[in-house]
């Protein structure tokens, strides 16, 4: 009859058994050291040294789980060793091993725990020093050495703990700042993209409603503009949502009912070459936009092109909503070391959108975009009337003109 294989022991049972054996060995540690030192009068044998070394390592390994209990066993073991034979070498080993344990506790545990461990070590080492050869001031000198060595070990460990906690705090702060910056970036993208598109749709819908009975062809044109703007907005939303889901792309590869959302139209982020198309869509909404190009047009980094495009887009949205004018001038100047973008209109000069009033957050978003790229931004009424938005973006060394 074949032997029935025994089921393997649960991992938790093995862990508990291993820990119980470790603590049994650590409890036997003081006895082993005492016997080893008492038998050292005839010399140390290899088995004695091996067993003492292994038990020292085993007891020290328990510092990770129960630091104060393990330190107490280390102190007890070396007190037993020194009391069995007051050798200076045994005292030095006690100072070395126990102070290293205190330093480890100070580096990994709260200060209250490490101070408790330091007090235990000082008491144990001071008691062990009584068994050293006495002489005039010998105990005071030994005690002074013990205190200095213990203080140095505790200070080194506590410094490591403080540096680690400081690094963790800086990392947490940097993570929070990165999350906030990303949230603000997404908010700016959605505001600039959807705000402009919804403004165009609202204007075209109003036009279509007013002329649907008298001029059906113009109403159809308005509906076509609404359709085109809606598709463009959906594409932009697809890009934004795709960026948000990019970290989970592997998990979402399995598809499912919601996987169809990944089929939303996507395209590259808008750049300055798309300003003509933006001006055309604004023209369909009733805003005549004159785009003027100055300087030598050349490819720029994607973040600079996107920021400049969004500045123009949000400015045109504000013109449509607040300026009360149909004319707008956009000037894009490719300079040697910077890109200059200006949007001017001769409309009303009331409350600037995004300055904290009820008009929205357009100016705030534009200012944040430019600040992230270390540029300069101004927005305000013109002396001759109307409103002006101006941004200057410094260019990287690789795209500057000599």
Say whether pLDDT at 156 is over 90: yes
2 vs 147, residue with greater confidence: 147
Residue 177 burial (C-beta neighbours within 10 Å; 0-12, 13-18, 19+): exposed
pTM exceeding the 0.85 threshold for the entire prediction: no
Is residue 170 classed as helix, strand or coil in its secondary structure? helix
Say whether pLDDT at 358 is over 60: no
At a CB cut-off of 8 Å and minimum separation 6, what does 240 contact? Answer: 186, 189, 190, 193
Q: What is the pLDDT of residue 389?
A: 93
Angle, helix 216-245 to helix 275-284, in steps of 10 degrees: 140
* Helix, strand, coil % over all residues of the chain, rounded to 5: 70, 10, 20
- Rg of the chain, C-alpha, whole Å: 38
Domain-wise residue ranges, the chain: 11-173, 286-402
Q: How large is the greatest C-alpha to C-alpha distance in the chain, in angstroms?
A: 120
H helix or E strand, kind and range, residue 289: strand 288-295
Q: What is the pLDDT of residue 121?
A: 92
Q: Which ranges of 246-378 does DSSP label H, i.e. alpha helix?
A: 275-284, 302-318, 362-372
Max avg pLDDT among 7-21, 106-120, 213-227, 229-243? 106-120
102 vs 346, residue with greater confidence: 102
Q: What is the pLDDT of residue 397?
A: 83
pLDDT tens profile 318-334: 887 776 777 899 999 99
At a CB cut-off of 8 Å and minimum separation 6, what does 227 contact? Answer: none
Say whether pLDDT at 305 is over 50: yes
Say whether pLDDT at 302 is over 80: yes
Mean pLDDT for all residues in the chain: 79
At a CB cut-off of 8 Å and minimum separation 6, what does 141 contact? Answer: none
pLDDT tens profile 241-293: 665 655 444 444 444 434 344 444 445 678 899 898 888 888 877 788 999 99
Cα distances from 394 to residues 62, 308, 340, 368, in angstroms, run 58, 12, 9, 15
pLDDT tens profile 21-37: 778 878 888 888 888 77
Q: Are 345 and 329 contacting, i.e. CB atoms less than 8 angstroms apart?
A: yes
- The four Cα atoms 346, 349, 350, 351 give a dihedral, to 10 degrees, of 100
Angle, helix 302-318 to helix 138-211, in steps of 10 degrees: 50
DSSP letters spanning 109-135: S-HHHHHHHHHHHHHHHHHHGGGSPP-
Topology of the domain comprising 286-402: Heat Shock Protein 90 (3.30.565)
Q: Where residue 104 falls among pLDDT bands split at 50, 70, 90?
A: very high
Rounded to 5 degrees, φ, ψ at 391 are -135, 140
259 vs 144, residue with greater confidence: 144
Average confidence (pLDDT) over 60-70: 88
């Amino acid at each position: 009859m074949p032997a029935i294989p025994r089921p393997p022991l649960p991992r938790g049972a093995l862990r508990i058994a291993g820990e119980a054996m470790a603590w049994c060995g650590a409890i036997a540690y003081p006895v082993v050291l005492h016997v080893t030192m008492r038998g050292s009068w005839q010399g140390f044998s290899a088995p004695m040294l091996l067993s003492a070394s292994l038990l020292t390592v085993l007891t020290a390994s328990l510092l990770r789980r129960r630091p104060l209990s393990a330190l107490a066993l280390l102190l007890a073991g070396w007190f037993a060793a020194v009391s069995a034979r007051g050798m200076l070498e045994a005292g030095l080993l006690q100072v070395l091993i126990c102070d290293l344990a205190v330093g480890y506790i100070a580096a990994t545990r709260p200060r209250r725990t490490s101070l408790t461990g330091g007090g235990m070590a000082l008491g144990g080492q001071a008691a062990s020093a009584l068994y050293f050869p006495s002489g005039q001031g010998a105990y005071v000198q030994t005690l002074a050495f013990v205190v200095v060595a213990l203080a140095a070990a505790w200070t080194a460990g506590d410094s490591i703990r403080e540096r680690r906690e400081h690094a963790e705090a800086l990392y947490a702060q940097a993570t929070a700042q990165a999350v906030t910056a990303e949230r603000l970036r997404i908010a700016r993208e959605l505001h600039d993209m959807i705000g402009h598109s919804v403004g165009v749709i609202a204007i075209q819908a109003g036009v279509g409603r007013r002329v649907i009975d008298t001029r059906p062809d113009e109403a159809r044109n308005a509906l076509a503009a609404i359709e085109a703007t809606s598709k463009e907005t959906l594409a932009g939303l697809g890009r934004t949502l795709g960026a948000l889901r990019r970290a989970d792309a592997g998990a979402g590869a399995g598809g499912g009912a919601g996987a169809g959302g990944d089929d939303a139209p996507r395209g590259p982020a808008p750049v300055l070459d798309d300003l003509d198309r933006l001006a055309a869509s604004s023209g369909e909404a009733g805003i005549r936009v004159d785009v003027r190009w100055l300087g030598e047009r050349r490819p720029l980094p994607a973040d600079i092109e996107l920021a400049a495009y969004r500045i123009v887009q949000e400015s045109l949205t504000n013109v449509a909503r607040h300026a009360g004018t149909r004319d707008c001038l956009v000037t894009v100047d490719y300079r040697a070391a910077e890109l200059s973008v200006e949007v001017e209109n001769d409309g009303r000069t009331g409350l600037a959108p995004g300055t904290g009033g009820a008009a929205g957050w357009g100016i705030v978003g534009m200012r944040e975009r430019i600040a992230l790229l270390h540029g300069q931004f101004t927005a305000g009424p013109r002396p001759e009337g109307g409103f002006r938005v101006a941004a200057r973006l410094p260019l990287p060394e690789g795209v500057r003109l000599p």
